[in-house]
């Protein structure tokens, strides 16, 4: 950008080593330019989405409600704090799912697939980890949520549903000390 346009396109001061999200575009004279004013380039209202649709996310700024994310390179979406497990770093690309399309046509986003897919996926992940750990892991439904997320990448609620499914299908036993695979005949 020409030097006189730089302050206008910045939301915050730039410093060496700091990461900033920008939109890269071609300016009126045909030069490649960048702007940190993403609101000027992203649509405020998202149309054509259904609940459960898989979307591409670029994690943006943190707010009081959660984390703003650029959805499919075109719209703003919000990942609420109760959907955030672990770190969501600014600039990180992730898959997400449309949780709700609000009446004001804004998107609420989840970082895990909706419905039974989430539980089936978590159950398979738990089973795979148990197999890699000789059929036993010292984690139960009483373990802290942070430990469960660190081990399996899911919330405690999803973990409990997944081990319940594995237990019901007689694939694991739930012991005081942890989870154990039932040997299959």
**CATH assignment at residue 121:** 1.10.10.10
Please name the helix (run of DSSP H) or strand (run of DSSP E) that holds residue 34, with its range, or none: strand 32-35
More confident residue, 178 or 81: 178
45 in any annotated domain: no
Domain count, the chain: 3
Q: How confident is the model at residue 173 (pLDDT cuts 50, 70, 90)?
A: very high
CA angle 68, 121, 85 (to 5 degrees): 35
DSSP 45-88: S--S--TT-EEEEEEEEE-SSEEEEEETTTEEEEEEGGG--S--
Phi, psi dihedrals of residue 53, rounded to the nearest 5°: -65, 135
CA 93 to chain CA mean position, Å: 9
Residues 122 and 170 both lie in one domain: yes
Name the token pair of 2. 């020409």
Share of the chain above pLDDT 70, in %: 90
**What's the whole-model pTM score?**
0.65
Residues 89 and 145 both lie in one domain: no
pLDDT at 10 over 80: no
Residues 27 and 67 both lie in one domain: no
Give me the domain span that covers residue 142: 115-181
CB 52 within 8 A of CB 43: no
pLDDT in tens, 103-136: 888 899 988 888 777 888 889 999 999 999 999 9
121 in any annotated domain: yes
Phi, psi dihedrals of residue 161, rounded to the nearest 5°: -65, -40
Residues 106 and 119 both lie in one domain: no
pLDDT in tens, 136-146: 999 998 999 88
CATH code, domain with 68? 2.40.50.140
Please name the helix (run of DSSP H) or strand (run of DSSP E) that holds residue 109, with its range, or none: strand 107-110
pLDDT at 16: 81
30 in any annotated domain: yes
Phi, psi dihedrals of residue 26, rounded to the nearest 5°: -100, 125
Which of 92, 110, 128 is the endpoint of a domain? 110
pLDDT at 7 over 70: no
Cα separation of the two ends of the chain:
68
69 in any annotated domain: yes
């Amino acid at each position: 950008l020409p030097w006189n346009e730089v302050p206008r396109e910045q939301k915050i001061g730039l410093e060496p080593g700091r990461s900033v999200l920008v939109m890269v575009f071609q300016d009126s004279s045909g030069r490649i330019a960048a702007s940190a004013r993403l609101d000027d380039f992203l649509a405020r209202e998202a149309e054509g989405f259904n609940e459960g649709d898989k979307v591409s996310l670029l994690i943006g700024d943190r707010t009081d409600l959660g984390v703003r994310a650029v959805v499919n390179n075109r719209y703003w979406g919000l990942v609420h704090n109760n959907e955030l497990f672990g770190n969501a770093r600014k600039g990180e690309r992730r898959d997400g799912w449309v949780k709700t399309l609000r009446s004001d046509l804004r998107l609420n986003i989840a970082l895990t697939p909706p419905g039974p897919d989430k539980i089936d996926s978590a159950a398979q992940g738990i089973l795979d980890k148990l197999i890699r750990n000789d059929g036993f892991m010292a984690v139960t439904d009483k373990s802290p949520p942070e430990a469960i997320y660190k081990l399996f990448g899911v919330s405690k609620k999803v973990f409990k549903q997944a081990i319940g499914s594995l237990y019901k299908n007689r694939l694991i036993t739930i012991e005081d000390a942890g989870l154990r695979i039932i040997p299959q005949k």
